[in-house]
Chain A
Amino acid sequence: MKITVAGVEVAFGDLPVLDGVSFDVATGEFVSVLGPSGCGKSTLFGVLAGLVAPDHGRVLVDGAPAGRETFGYMPQKDLLFPWRTVLDNTTLGLEVGGMRRREARERARELFAPFGLAGFERSRPAELSGGMRQRAALLRTVVQDREVLLLDEPFGALDSLTRTAMQEWLEEVRGRFGWTVLLITHDVREAVFLSDRVLVLSSRPAHVAREVRIDLPRPREVGVLTDPAFVAAEAELLDTLRGGTRL
Chain B
Amino acid sequence: MTRADHRSRTEPGPPSSPPVPGRAGRTGRAPAPRTARGRTSLLGRVAPPVLVVLLLLVVWQGAVTALDVRPQVLPSPLRVLEQGWAFRAVLWANTLPTLQVTAVGFAVSLAVGWVLAVGVDFSPWLRRALVPLLVASQTLPIIAVAPLMIIWFGFGLLPKVLVIALVTFFPIAVGLIEGFARADPEAANLLRSMGGGRWAEFRYVRLPGALPSFFTALRIAITYAVTGAIFAEYVGARAGLGIYMAQQKNSFRTDLVLAAVAVTALVSVALFGLTYLVERVVAPWIKGARR
Closest Cβ neighbor of B184 among chain A residues: A79
Interface check B141, CB cutoff 8 A: no
Instruction: Choose, from A89-97, A209-217, A228-236, the stretch at the interface.
Output: A89-97
A158-B20 in contact (CB<8A): no
B13-A81 in contact (CB<8A): no
CB-CB under 8 A from B187, the residues of chain A are 79, 81
CB-CB under 8 A from B13, the residues of chain A are 126-130
B186-A124 in contact (CB<8A): no
Interface check A120, CB cutoff 8 A: yes
Complex interface residues of chain B between 139 and 198 (CB less than 8 A to chain A): 184, 186-187, 189-196
Known: A83-B283, A116-B21. A50 touches B192 (CB 8 A): yes
Interface check A123, CB cutoff 8 A: yes
Known: A79-B184, A96-B200. A129 touches B193 (CB 8 A): no
B15-A126 in contact (CB<8A): no
Contact of A92 among B33, B189, B204, B289 (CB under 8 A): B204
Known: A77-B186, A127-B29. A82 touches B10 (CB 8 A): yes
Closest Cβ neighbor of A117 among chain B residues: B19
A116-B19 in contact (CB<8A): yes
**Interface code A9-49, partner B: CB below 8 Å = 1, 0 otherwise?**
00000000000000000000000000000000000001001
CB-CB under 8 A from A124, the residues of chain B are 32, 285, 288
CB-CB under 8 A from A120, the residues of chain B are 29
B193-A162 in contact (CB<8A): no
CB-CB under 8 A from B200, the residues of chain A are 96
A93-B285 in contact (CB<8A): no
Chain A interface, number of residues (Cβ within 8 angstroms): 50
Complex interface residues of chain A between 49 and 82 (CB less than 8 A to chain B): 49-51, 68-69, 71-73, 75-77, 79-82
Closest Cβ neighbor of A133 among chain B residues: B12
B190-A73 in contact (CB<8A): yes
Instruction: Choose, from A164-172, A179-187, A218-226, A237-245, the stretch at the interface.
Output: A164-172
A128-B30 in contact (CB<8A): yes
Contact of B20 among A95, A119, A127, A165 (CB under 8 A): A165
Interface check B9, CB cutoff 8 A: yes
Distance in angstroms between the alpha carbons of A77 and B194 in the assembled complex: 16
Closest Cβ neighbor of B203 among chain A residues: A96
Complex interface residues of chain A between 87 and 128 (CB less than 8 A to chain B): 92-93, 95-97, 113-114, 116, 119-120, 123-128
**Could you tell me the distance in whole angstroms from the C-beta of A171 to the nearest C-beta in chain B?**
11
Interface check B14, CB cutoff 8 A: yes
CB-CB under 8 A from A126, the residues of chain B are 9-10, 13, 32-33, 288-289
Known: A128-B30, A132-B18, A162-B17. A92 touches B194 (CB 8 A): yes
**Could you tell me the distance in whole angstroms from the C-beta of B94 to the nearest C-beta in chain A?**
41
4 extra interface residue pairs, beta carbon distance < 8 Å, beyond A114-B21, A169-B20:
A72-B193, A73-B190, A83-B208, A159-B15
Write 28 A-B pairs (CB below 8 A) sorted by A numbering.
A49-B189, A51-B189, A51-B193, A68-B195, A73-B190, A77-B186, A79-B184, A81-B205, A81-B209, A82-B9, A83-B208, A92-B194, A93-B194, A96-B191, A120-B29, A124-B285, A125-B10, A126-B9, A126-B13, A126-B32, A126-B289, A127-B30, A127-B32, A129-B16, A131-B17, A159-B15, A165-B18, A169-B20
